[in-house]
């Protein structure tokens, strides 16, 4: 299992080639190929989880090979506690995504080929430790996404796809500039681990056009990642892309692709520019607050259920941002509050995972009702609770998970984010607790309008959620419930890595002692 990471990345490509060989009429075998490929990948991620040494906060399962030596570019892979849960989540959601898209009728072959290509891109981003490789996978992800939204989406799909593409490309161009800046400023290497060691010292005090180089690179990279998160004010591509994308793609978009933003900020910005963390932390927490409140209010006003769920993502990622900012609590200026830093960063990373499962669940459930009623207008339903009791029950759990009910995983991570950020950003945290109320308001109000009241006669023969759909939702539901009751397995995996990130940021920041 020395090459397990490479296997994880390239397995979908093999699947894609197989899909490409199968004649287009044999749709069933194409689907099965995709399911088998992602299934094996998911199993491999579980093996990875099992073999992972949670005591070790550094990179594991490393792979290194020379690639373009003249530019110091290497094929460098590795996994740590930050990326491992995301890798497992990727495996799970792509596997589930195949079944969510089982009923795709249009150009099945093309769909699954692109789907598997997307899988490679996402996996690659999480596993690569070389900036050049990272960037390539980052872009590989973009293209299939464009086609998947643009060809299999809703009525406004072309507009949504081009908007998504341009918006994200804008971000990745800034990111590329940032990466090149780092490359030239830090001794011409793309290796992330090496940069993590070199950059904090090399960038220290370096000025570009009179501005600190750290700030310039930080902002460039941050915008690149922030668009993916999405951080207000870079969020408006999200509702549109979600509304227009087919269900499975919405699931992946919300479940994994948004996480790449947070992952990137922690891996790159935090790792390479500890000074920047200090400089930016208040802004980060403040952006989190805006995400929470703005996303919550927007969600409250939505009439389209899918758009509501999309804005809830904006709202939920806000908690993550607030939690991330808490890292600075461990600094000397804030009284070496390691507790808060652990709670905050751990909460942020946990929230990434929880939002991945919860929002995936929500989007699948929206897809279920859309497939039956052919619309998503919240006001257009009513009284479905008596018609579809099982669906209602599952949706209730998903909504309650979304509004942060204790006993479901979302609560723990939100609470950890708040508790962690509180010692440093009291005002911001207190202001953002309003999000607790907003979450409940928009979810419960939507729930009432869809499920409560007299049954709408139009829907008196709406079929109950079927077995295939149950198969896609139940695993996510169980994960949400399991981590809600017993979060330790997750936190054990990440805690060593969180500690090493916190220590790295704190020990290498010149601000820390100020």
The footprint of other proteins (CB under 8 A) covers 163, 166-167, 233, 236-237, 239-240, 294, 297-298, 300-302, 338-340, 342-343, 346, 383, 385-386, 393, 400, 405-407, 411-412, 415-416, 418-420, 422-423, 429-430, 433-434, 436-437, 440-441, 444-445, 448, 451-455, 486-488, 491-492, 495, 498-499
Q: What phi and psi values does residue 56 have, to the nearest 5 degrees?
A: -100, 115
Instruction: Report d(CA 390, CA 6) in Å as an integer.
Output: 41
| Per-residue three-class SS string for 406-459 | CCCHHHHHHHHHHHHHCCCCHHHHHHHCHHHHHHHHHHHHHHHHHHCCCCCHHH
* Smaller CB separation from other proteins, 195 or 417: 417
- Report the b/e string of 15-49 with b at 16+ CB within 10 A: bbebbeebeeeebeebbebbbebbebbbebbeebb
- 273 or 310: whose CB is closer to other proteins? 310
Half-sphere exposure of 96 (CA within 13 A, CB side): 29
Q: 226: closest CA among 179, 172, 271?
A: 172
The CB-of-406 to other proteins minimum distance in angstroms stands at 3
Integer Rg of the chain from CA: 22
CA distance 451 to 4: 46
Contacts of 479 (CB under 8 A, 6+ apart): 357, 409
Q: What minimum distance in Å lies between the beta carbon of 238 and other proteins? A: 10
Q: Find the shortest distance in angstroms from Cβ 371 to other proteins.
A: 24
CA 494 remoteness from chain centre = 16
> 314 vs 239, 264, 298, 321, 401, CA distance in Å?
9, 17, 9, 11, 16
Least distance to other proteins from the beta carbon of 336, Å? 10
Q: Which is nearer to other proteins, 187 or 407 (CB)?
A: 407
- Of 15 and 420, CB closest to other proteins: 420
Q: How far is the CB of 448 from other proteins (least distance, A)?
A: 5
| Nearer CB in complex with other proteins: 31/504 | 504
**Which 3 state secondary structure label does DSSP give 64?**
strand
Q: How many whole angstroms separate alpha carbon 332 and alpha carbon 325?
A: 15
Contact 67, 75 (CB under 8 A): yes
Helices (H) and strands (E) in the chain, counts: 22, 4
Q: Given the complex with other proteins, which of 217 and 479 has the nearer CB atom? A: 479
**Shortest gap between Cβ of 93 and other proteins (angstroms)?**
25
Q: Which of 236/510 has CB closer to other proteins?
A: 236
Token digits of residue 468: 């295939």
**Nearer CB in complex with other proteins: 181/383:** 383
Q: Min. distance of Cβ 125 from other proteins in angstroms?
A: 25
Task: Output helix, strand, coil percentages for the chain, rounded to the nearest 5.
Answer: 75, 5, 20
CB of 429 to other proteins, least distance (A): 7
Least spacing, CB of residue 441 vs other proteins, in Å: 6
Closest CB to other proteins among 33 and 413? 413
């Amino acid at each position: 299992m020395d090459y397990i990471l490479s296997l994880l990345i390239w397995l979908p490509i093999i699947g894609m080639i197989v899909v490409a060989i199968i004649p287009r009429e044999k749709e069933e075998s194409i689907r099965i190929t995709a399911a088998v490929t992602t299934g094996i990948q998911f199993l491999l991620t579980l093996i990875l989880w099992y073999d992972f040494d949670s005591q070790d906060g550094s990179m594991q399962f490393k792979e290194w090979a020379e690639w373009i030596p003249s530019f110091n570019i290497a094929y460098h892979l590795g996994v740590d506690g930050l990326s491992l849960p995301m890798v497992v989540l990727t495996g799970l959601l792509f596997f589930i995504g195949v079944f969510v898209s089982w009923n795709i009728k249009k150009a099945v072959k093309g769909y699954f080929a692109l789907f598997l290509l997307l899988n490679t891109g996402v996996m690659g981003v999480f596993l690569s430790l070389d900036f050049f490789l990272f960037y390539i996978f980052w872009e590989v992800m973009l293209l299939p996404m464009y086609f998947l939204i643009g060809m299999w989406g809703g009525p406004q799909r072309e507009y949504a796809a081009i908007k998504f593409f341009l918006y994200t490309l804008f971000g990745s161009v800034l990111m590329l500039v940032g990466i090149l800046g780092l490359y030239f400023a830090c001794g011409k290497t793309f290796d992330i681990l090496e940069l993590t060691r070199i950059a904090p010292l090399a960038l220290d005090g370096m000025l570009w056009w009179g501005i600190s180089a750290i700030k310039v690179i930080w902002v460039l990279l941050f915008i690149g990642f922030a668009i993916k998160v999405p951080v207000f004010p870079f969020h408006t591509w999200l509702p549109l892309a979600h509304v227009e994308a087919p269900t499975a793609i919405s699931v992946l978009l919300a479940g994994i692709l948004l996480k790449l933003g947070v992952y990137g900020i922690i891996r790159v910005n935090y790792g390479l520019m500890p000074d920047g963390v200090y400089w930016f932390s208040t802004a980060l927490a403040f952006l989190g607050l805006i995400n929470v409140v703005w996303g919550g209010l927007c969600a409250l006003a939505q009439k389209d259920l899918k758009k509501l769920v999309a804005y809830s993502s904006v709202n939920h990622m806000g908690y993550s941002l607030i939690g991330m900012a808490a890292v600075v609590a461990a600094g000397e200026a804030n009284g070496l509050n390691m507790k808060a830093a652990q709670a905050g960063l751990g909460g942020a990373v946990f929230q990434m995972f929880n939002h991945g499962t919860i929002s995936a669940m929500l989007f699948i459930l929206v897809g279920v009702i859309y497939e039956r009623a052919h619309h998503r207008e919240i006001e257009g339903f009513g009284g479905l609770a008596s018609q579809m009791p099982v669906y209602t029950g599952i949706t209730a759990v998903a909504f309650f998970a979304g509004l942060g009910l204790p006993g479901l995983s979302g609560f723990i991570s939100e609470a950890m984010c708040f508790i962690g950020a509180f010692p440093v950003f009291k005002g911001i945290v207190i202001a953002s607790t309003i999000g607790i109320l907003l979450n409940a308001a928009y979810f419960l109000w939507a729930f009432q309008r869809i499920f409560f009241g007299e049954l709408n006669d139009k829907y008196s023969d709406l079929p109950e959620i079927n077995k295939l759909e149950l198969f896609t939702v139940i695993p996510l539901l169980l994960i949400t419930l399991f981590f809600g009751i017993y979060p330790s397995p997750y936190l054990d995996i990440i805690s060593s890595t969180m500690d090493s990130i916190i220590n790295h940021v704190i020990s290498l920041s010149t601000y820390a002692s100020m």
